[in-house]
Structure 1
Amino acid sequence: MSLRPALVAPWPLSLTAPAALLCGGLMAWALAPRAMPGLQLLALAGLLLLIAAGRAGIGRSAGLGLLAGTGWMAGSFWWLYVSMHDYGGLAAPLAVLAVLALAAALALLVAAAMALWRALRSGRTGVDVAWLAALWLAIELARGEWFTGFPWGASGYAHTDGLLAVLAPWIGVYGVGAVAAALSAWFALELSARLSGRRDRWLALSLATLTLAGAGWLPALRGPDFTQAGERLSVTLLQGNVSQDEKFNAERLPEALDWHLRTLLAARTDLVVAPETAIPLLPDQLPDGLWHQFTEQVGASGQHVLVGLPLGDFEHGYTNSVAGLGPTGTPVYRYDKHHLVPFGEFVPRGFRWFVDAMHIPLGDFSRGPLVAPPFRVRGVAVAPNICYEDLFGEELAARFVGAPADVPGVLANVSNIAWFGRSVAVPQHLQISRMRTLELQRPMLRATNTGATVVIDHRGEVRHALPPHERGVLVGEVESRSGLTPYAAWVGRTGLWPAWLFALGMMLWRVRRTSGSDQVRHALT
């Protein structure tokens, strides 16, 4: 008895629905801390195989995409539950519902992509692979930019340590994700053809399998240096390890504040960096004269210091900021966070009730400029960014097209993700920072409250690191860089519009090439 009729018949929903959810979960599992590019490729290929070989119609394809997308999103950022429930005080059922609702809302993009791919497939492998890559690029761009953007867990991050990382200085994380999607689609379509009895597809399937295996399991290839070495700086990075439930505690605050200020003053390197809200109070809320005394001592010591703290006042508004202090006579530097976190740093319209249900201080900040001047340390332009901001490579790249003297030589991220406890948010954020260094070929300093506090070189390699969730001081060295990667050059000038135009152009071409109602009617049946 042949099994082939079962392989080519529509696969039952009882099989495909849990399989799609599993594929989405495996895409999340492929991210840090495991960093498994091969698993990401296979997981997406599995979803596409459920649609292609499983003979799913448009509606079922959308449903499978929704399930897979929900598993992918929820598996990528489940730790939002910790911030909302453990530290925000939101009831556990509401916190779970909020995470799942966000995951399902973002998964609608995956559902749309799978439905469109199914509806407008041509039956020609090359065309259908390009069609899927264009759709995948479009939905990842949409997730990264619409409604302020939340691209955490984008598929390209799984390839930070894979062979496809060589493409990052050219096309960035979204381009890497689109290429990965194309490889997954090629493999899925060739395997589907073989399951359907196409013996002439053995060679194509073998090539697709070898390509997928190489992209997924061969060691990372970094490619050429587009940037040139510059001045070296010695650096000190602080990791206070203050639990979020103690950060604003009146009994715990004096000890943590004292440790940060003493450690900053005791450092003897070119640059000292303390995390986001290392000083969790406005300067006027500190004990009388403490901020002025601290700035005078920094000036007398000859140090350059970057320290995270809120600035402003409750009447005119406040910002999540980094203050830069230097030797006596150096102007005080200020960087205000531009890309704010919804609900944590600003309240989206209509959601005040949701924020009021939590107990998070300083929940509505003012926004800083997109392009801010750098902080100068011994002639090196150091560009700060705060926490979530290094998730948006296109916004960091915007700083690379100004006056040559203002182009950053070193990036410095200050973060506090104690909000998410001992979760995978820490290694995931490190993976994100490493992708930025690959795209821009600039080293990244990361001074964080609970980790990962590290020095990353311009090729994405961690050169110095502290163990997470421990108080410590990291002393190391960083080499500044000059010059631009292709990615920095085109994204810095145009943003992500070329990627959007490519994706939309491919989609328009596919729609125009479609035979119209006959093909769609065939897909529905």
Structure 2
Amino acid sequence: MSRLIRLPLALAAGGLLSLGFAPFDWIWTPFVTLAAIFAAVSVLSSPRAVLATAYAFGLGYAGSGVYWIYHSIADYGGGPLAGGVATGVLVALFALIPTLALAGGWWLGAGDRRRTRLLALPLVWVAIEWVRSWLATGATWLSVGYTQIDTPLAALAPVAGVYGVSLAVVLIAGVLADAIVSPRPQRAGLALGTVALIAAAAWALDDEWTRPVDAPLSVSILQGNIDQARKWDPDERGAILREYLQMSRARLGDDLIIWPETALPVFYRQARQWLDPLAREARAAGSELVLGAPVARGERRYNAVVVAGEPPRYYFKRHLVPFGEYVPFRDIAGGILDFVGTPLGDFTAGRSAAPLTAAGHELGVSICYEVTFGAEVAAALPAADLLLNVSNDAWFGHSSAPWQHLQMARMRALETGREMIRATNTGVSAIIGADGGLRRMGPLFEAAVLTATVQPYQGTTPYGRAGDWPLVGLALAGIGGLLLRRRRR
């Protein structure tokens, strides 16, 4: 296939792959597109052709998958020019991730095209997904395992996490690629056998790893739908606070009343004269008030979840978003980077994953971006019997990002066997079942109060005990074996 045809097809395949994620949920696209790119890369003999093809695929994947970064910067940061430049740079960098996975798999296959398709490319793809979850503060967005949250393959998640689901996807893509390159009956049989084997493993592992305990709790999630431009306007602070106070008082009597991430547009101590009386009213009515707020302690600022009361109890966000909640190299760059970061100044990362006690139960808390990291959410187990995620996805506008964020939150509930309360400023607020299913869901970009019950759970899934290490160890062992074979060859 000539370069003029191969590169546009690779670009299109990368773009189509992102349609496997929410809100499109075309669950078949990861299998088809990865099979196509595995097949295309495996038959190439030139490193330059491999890199060009892989990067074209990566550009399509990144451009269609994380385009929403533009909204965050253009609408709430430095304007359209800054948004365009920053998005272009980030897409170009993100495209290097699938490039590294595809080129690395091709190199590891050492010229054996079948081995490249069936083992090298799938194993390196999963290894790269895991590496990027921690390298340079980490990013898990667009890991292909998320696309299967509503398929039988999701049963692998409580055992092996999202990367276990990813491995199933890329192994199936590998045998499909083999059948595409050489459509012989025995290779079609291998593809069918692999699919059947993985399906059987998912069926065998489909178990209830955790069990419900105690009575369900009544919950009210307050979705204020506060526009970002209004939120940080000093003249609007009083009105915003009054809106949340009014919504809270209307729900007194519910076990938990939840405000979203940084619902308070001021530091928590500046609003205690209003919040402490509300917390006392809530306690008297049998309710507990849990809210997202910035917290200042000396020179340090934290993005926090607070159980209001006297004294208040805090969870400080541990995994901060670079250039969103703090700016690396600010001291070096000076004012050049002032258009990014939080309006209240750089946040400091918290250290403890300990659950917050509220309404007599232990809440495993994550704030916004943290819910995209499986091991960090699972760190609250086994003590936590419920999960709580607060977020503010207003930055993303009417893009696919809020739906992708919700999809990742669902995977965390499934991995840990815990129900999750998800409270967001503009949506999508939800109650997520311990099986990852959506039990209740609120609207997007509408003010709303989402009421529901949540069921506490006890017990620990295999993933909750061991995290990503068994799956990662398996992938690295396979890569090690291929490396030894390559050296001998």
Q: TM-score, normalised by structure 1?
A: 0.86
2:88 aligns with one of 71, 77, 100: 100
- In structure 2, the residue matched to 1:4 is none
State the match for 1:34 in structure 2: 24
Q: What whole-Å deviation, never above 9, does each CA across 1:21-46 have from its counterpart, x for those lacking one?
A: 11111111210001122111111111
**Contact residue 264 and residue 293 of structure 2 kept, 8 A:** yes
Q: Deviations over 1:59-116 (max 9, x none)?
A: 211222222122212322211111111111x242432232232232233232222223
Cα–Cα, structure 1 residues 111 and 514, in superposed 2: closer, same or farther, change >3 Å? same
2:141 alignment partner, one of 143, 146, 152: 152
1:443 corresponds in structure 2 to: 419
Which letter does structure 2 place at the counterpart of 1:21?
Answer: L
Aligned CA distance change for structure 1 residues 103 and 497 (closer, same or farther; 3 Å): farther
Task: Give 1:321's aligned residue.
Answer: 304
CA pair 169-279 structure 1, distance change in 2 beyond 3 A: same
Q: How many residues align?
A: 482
Residue type at the aligned position of 1:101: V
Give yes or no for contact 2:321–2:369 (8 Å, CA) kept in 1: yes
Preserved contact between residue 209 and residue 460 of structure 2 (Cα < 8 Å): yes
- Contact map agreement 1:32 1:431 (CA 8 A) in 2: yes
> Conserved in 2, the CA contact under 8 Å of 1:222 and 1:459?
no
Unaligned 5+ segments in structure 2 are none
Matched, 1:234 2:218: yes
Alpha carbons 1:65, 1:111 under 8 Å: kept: yes
Could you list the runs of 5+ residues in structure 1 that have no partner in the other structure? 1-10, 195-200, 402-406, 520-525
Secondary structure in 2 matching 1:95: helix
Using a 3 Å threshold, how does the CA distance of structure 1 residues 434 and 351 change in structure 2: closer, same or farther?
farther
The alignment partner of 1:144 has SS state of coil
Q: 1:413 aligns with which of 389, 394, 407?
A: 389
Name which of 294, 300, 314 aligns with 2:278.
Answer: 294
Aligned to 1:364: 346
Q: In 1, Cα distance between the equivalents of 2:333 and 2:218?
A: 45
* Matched ranges for 1:323-402 at <5 A: 323-325=306-308, 331-349=311-329, 355-358=337-340, 360-378=342-360, 380-400=361-381
- Aligned residue among 387, 391, 399 for 1:423: 399
Alignment of 1:55-134 (within 5 A): 55-88=44-77, 90-121=78-109, 123=112, 125=114, 128-134=117-123
The structure whose Rg is larger is 1
What residue number does 1:192 align with? 181
Whether the 8 Å contact between 2:237 and 2:266 is mirrored in structure 1 is: no
Q: What is residue 228 of structure 2 aligned with on the other side?
A: 244
Measure, in 1, the Cα distance between the counterparts of 2:175 and 2:255.
Answer: 51
Q: Using the alignment, how far apart are the partners of 1:244 and 1:475 within structure 2?
A: 25
Kindly indicate whether the alpha-carbon contact (under 8 Å) linking 2:42 and 2:117 is maintained by their aligned counterparts in 1: no
Once the 2 structures are TM-superposed, how far is the Cα of residue 148 of structure 1 from its aligned partner? 0.6
Match of 2:14 among 2, 24, 27: 24
Provide the C-alpha distance between the structure 2 equivalents of 1:483 and 1:13, rounded to a whole number of angstroms: 54
How far has the Cα of 1:344 moved from its partner?
0.8
Normalising by structure 2, what TM-score?
A: 0.92
Taking structure 1 as reference, are residues 351 and 173 closer, same or farther at Cα in structure 2, changes over 3 Å only? farther
Contact 2:162–2:411 under 8 Å retained in 1: yes
**d(CA) in 2 for partners of 1:111 and 1:162?**
27
SS in 1 for 2:263: coil
Q: 1:150/1:192 Cα in 2 relative to 1: closer, same or farther (>3 Å)?
A: same
Partner SS state of residue 455, structure 2: strand
Of all paired residues, the percent bearing the same amino acid is 33
Aligned equivalent of 1:308, options 271, 284, 292: 292
Q: Tell me, what secondary structure is at the counterpart of 1:366?
A: coil
Inter-partner Cα distance in structure 2 for 1:36 and 1:354: 41
SS at 1:412 equivalent: strand
- Runs of at least 4 residues off by over 6 Å: 213-216, 219-222
Distance in 2, matches of 1:389 and 1:226, equals 23
Work out whether 1:489 is the aligned partner of 2:465.
yes
Q: Distance in 2 between matches of 1:147 and 1:498?
A: 23
Task: Report the alpha carbon displacement of residue 166 of structure 1 after superposing the two structures with TM.
Answer: 1.2
- Asked if structure 2 preserves the Cα contact closer than 8 Å seen for 1:239 and 1:450, the reply is yes
Query: Aligned equivalents of 1:506 and 1:214: distance in 2?
Result: 18
1:237-286, CA deviations, whole angstroms, 9 ceiling, x for partnerless residues?
A: 11001111111123433322211112123212111111001111113444
- 2: distance between equivalents of 1:507 and 1:295? 55
Q: Is the 8 A contact 2:102 2:125 kept in 1?
A: no
Aligned residue among 224, 233, 238 for 2:207: 224
Residue 211 of structure 1 deviates from its aligned partner by 6.0
Q: Deviations over 1:129-170 (max 9, x none)?
A: 222222011110111110110111111111111221111111
